[in-house]
Amino acid sequence: MSSRRSRSRQSSSSRITDEQINDLVSKLQALLPEAGIRSNERVSAARVLQDTCSYIRNLHREVDDLSERLSELLATTDASSAQAAIIRSLLM
């Protein structure tokens, strides 16, 4: 578990309480994809951070994959229909 309780140095400008940290961690937990399944369970902060890390990595990978797909799609479609499709997704 984290050694938060034995933390001796607190920031002098703002008293960062454990409660504040817990709030932020639970807020992060709510954003993760499995938030609906485990909403009432008290998950450890380390677990939340671990899940957050893998979620961010997944999102990065998805951006890469989608960029590749977009690149392929734009190569195969002609300019006018690509523009039309792009404008259509703008209006949706």
Partner 1 sequence: PSLPTLCNHLSPPSHPSLSPSPPLPPESKPMSAFHFLRALSQINKSTPKSSLLLRSRRIRQAAYVSMACRAGRSRLWSRALLRRLQRRSRLRYLISQRTRAGIAPKRLKVVRPRSGEPSRAEALRRLVPGGPGMDYCSLLDETAHYIQCLSSQVQLMQKVVGSISCETPQP
Binding residues (CB under 8 A) for partner 1: these are 2-4, 6-9, 11, 16, 20-21, 24-25, 27-28, 31, 45-46, 49-50, 52-53, 55-57, 59-60, 62-64, 66-77, 79, 81-92
Please answer whether residues 52 and 32 qualify as being in contact, where contact means their C-beta atoms are separated by less than 8 angstroms: yes
Nearest to 45 by CA among 18, 22, 20: 22
CA distances from 7 to 10, 36, 84 (A): 7, 32, 58
